[in-house]
């Protein structure tokens, strides 16, 4: 069943990224678009037959409020590892309405102490297809969100493709969400 799409008008010049190659370009004011996905902190828009990713910080360009940070990730009552995983669940594939954890795109998350008492986080991220140009954008989103967590001093996100991703890495929740 196809979800209804919300039409929006671009109100100011705004930088977006083409999906799936990640090429940046500017949408001019007056451009008509449809929101196909508004999950996590970004928007996926359909513009003239092309999917594009709009950063949540630029939500005003389409008349929307900037998405608030996920409350689950900010819960100070949980340990850092739990807060990191909750934060990763707020990052979504721009084409698939499922978060990157449920999709099985996180291959590893290692924490190590830094001399100043903060924590260094090393994340291994894969993509559903090695040729996907959105890897850098998703990796940057992951790094930015995890670095914003209290106690985190450094984040590295490495794109890895071994072993190759396949549907068997998806959680049952992801499979049900996608009707597979």
Of 14, 37, 62, the residue that ends a domain is 62
Q: Are residues 122 and 47 in the same domain?
A: no
What's the per-residue H, E or C state across the chain?
A: CCCCCEEEECCCCEEEEEECCCCEEEECCCCEEEEEECCCCEEEEEECCEEEEEEHHHHHHHCCCCCCCCHHHHCCCCCHHHHHHHHHCCCECCCCCCECCCCCCEEEEEEEECCCCCEEEEEEECCCCCCCCCHHHHHHHHHHHHHCCCCEEEEEEEECCCCCCCHHHCCHHHHHHCCC
Q: Are residues 108 and 145 in the same domain?
A: yes
Q: Are residues 133 and 113 in the same domain?
A: yes
Q: Are residues 157 and 97 in the same domain?
A: yes
Q: Are residues 129 and 161 in the same domain?
A: yes
Residue 1 lies in a domain: no
Residue 78 lies in a domain: yes
Q: Are residues 168 and 129 in the same domain?
A: yes
Report whether pLDDT(1) > 50.
no
Over residues 151-169, the mean pLDDT reads: 94
Q: Are residues 104 and 147 in the same domain?
A: yes
Q: Are residues 36 and 78 in the same domain?
A: no
- Residue 2: which pLDDT band, with cuts at 50, 70 and 90? low
CATH code of residue 81: 3.30.300.130
Write down the mean pLDDT value for the chain.
89
Over residues 93-118, the mean pLDDT reads: 94
CATH code of residue 52: 2.30.30
Dump pLDDT digits (tens) for 21-31: 888 999 999 99
- Give residue 166's domain range: 71-177
- Residue 20: which pLDDT band, with cuts at 50, 70 and 90? confident
Q: Are residues 123 and 50 in the same domain?
A: no
Over residues 71-94, the mean pLDDT reads: 80
Number of domain units in the chain: 2
pTM: 0.81
Q: Are residues 78 and 58 in the same domain?
A: no
- Residue 126: which pLDDT band, with cuts at 50, 70 and 90? very high
């Amino acid at each position: 069943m196809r979800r209804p799409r919300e039409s929006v008008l671009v109100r100011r010049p705004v930088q977006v990224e083409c999906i799936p190659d990640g090429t940046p370009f500017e949408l001019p004011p007056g451009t008509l678009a449809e929101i196909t996905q508004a999950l996590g902190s970004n928007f996926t828009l359909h513009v003239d037959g092309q999917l594009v990713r709009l950063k949540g910080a630029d939500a005003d360009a389409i008349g929307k409020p900037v998405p608030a940070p996920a409350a689950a990730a900010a819960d100070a009552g949980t340990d850092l590892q739990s807060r990191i995983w909750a934060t990763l669940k707020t990052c979504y594939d721009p084409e698939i309405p499922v978060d990157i954890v449920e999709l099985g795109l996180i291959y590893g998350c290692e924490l190590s102490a830094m001399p100043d008492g903060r924590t260094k986080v090393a994340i291994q991220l894969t993509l559903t297809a090695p040729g996907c140009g959105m890897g850098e954008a998703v990796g940057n989103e992951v790094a930015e969100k995890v670095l914003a967590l209290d106690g985190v001093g450094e984040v590295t996100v490495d794109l890895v493709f071994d072993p190759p991703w396949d549907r068997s890495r998806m959680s049952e929740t992801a499979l049900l969400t996608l009707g597979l």
